[in-house]
Homo-oligomer: A and B are copies of this chain.
Amino acid sequence: MPTASLWSLHPQLDADSTAIADLPLCRVQLSNDANYPWLILVPRRLSATEIIDLDAADRARLMGEIDRAARALRAVAPCDKLNIAALGNMVPQLHIHIIARRTTDPAWPRPVWGAVAARPYDPPARSALVAALRGHFTPDALP
């Protein structure tokens, strides 16, 4: 696979989320939608659009990082169910959603995509969540 140096986050993902950490394979972003604690993992691999575009070593890294990110998310945002998905129908850059669902959230039990309008975080709540998540991703947290 190409080196990561030319990689950049898709502008739509960049607009919709906040950088949390750079794991060995994936950038970890927090969605800006306050309806659900929601991480997005983006493998830093040029032109990858499908999980099966990754080579076997990267697929293994991806599963490890999904596991790590899902545990971190659940630790800071207790939930009733995790939703983990690679869709990419709108944004072609490969990205994996990890969403902490509550049976009381506004979309439950539907999937979150398109269910209700995104809601911005109150800045203090967002700062606290970002800090808590970065703490779980030490030493890979981004400043």
Contact = CB atoms under 8 A, between A and B. Distances in A.
A52 B70 contact: yes
A13 interface: no
Nearest to A82: B50
Contact of A52 (B52, B67, B101): B67
Contact of A86 (B49, B59, B83, B114): B83
Contacts of A67: 51-52, 56, 59
Contact of A51 (B50, B84, B113): B84
A110 B49 CA distance: 17
Interface in A46-65: 49-52, 56, 59-60, 62-64
Interface of A: 49-52, 56, 59-60, 62-64, 66-67, 70-71, 74, 81-90, 101, 108-111, 113-114
